[in-house]
Amino acid sequence: MHLYDQVNPTSEQFRIFAKTYPRDEPLTMINLIKFKDKAWNGKETGAEAYQRYSKNVMEHLKKAGGRLIWKGECMHTLIGDSQDQPHVVMLVEYPSADHFLTMLNDPEYQECAKDRTMALEYGGLIASKKEYPE
The pLDDT of residue 130 is 77
- For residue 66, tell me if it sits in a domain: yes
Q: How many whole angstroms separate alpha carbon 16 and alpha carbon 65?
A: 23
Kind plus residue range of the DSSP H or E element containing 51: helix 46-63
Burial 76-91 (b: 16+ CB within 10 A, else e): eeeeeeeeebbbbbbe
- For residue 128, tell me if it sits in a domain: no
Domain span holding position 45: 11-123
- For residue 49, tell me if it sits in a domain: yes
pLDDT digits (tens, 9 = 90+) for 24-72: 899 999 999 999 999 988 899 999 999 999 999 999 999 999 999 999 9
Domain count, the chain: 1
- For residue 5, tell me if it sits in a domain: no
- For residue 129, tell me if it sits in a domain: no
Looking up residue 61, the CATH number of its domain turns out to be: 3.30.70.100
- For residue 79, tell me if it sits in a domain: yes
- For the question of whether the overall pTM of this predicted structure is more than 0.85, the answer is yes
- For residue 6, tell me if it sits in a domain: no
pLDDT digits (tens, 9 = 90+) for 5-35: 688 888 999 999 999 999 889 999 999 999 9
- For residue 110, tell me if it sits in a domain: yes
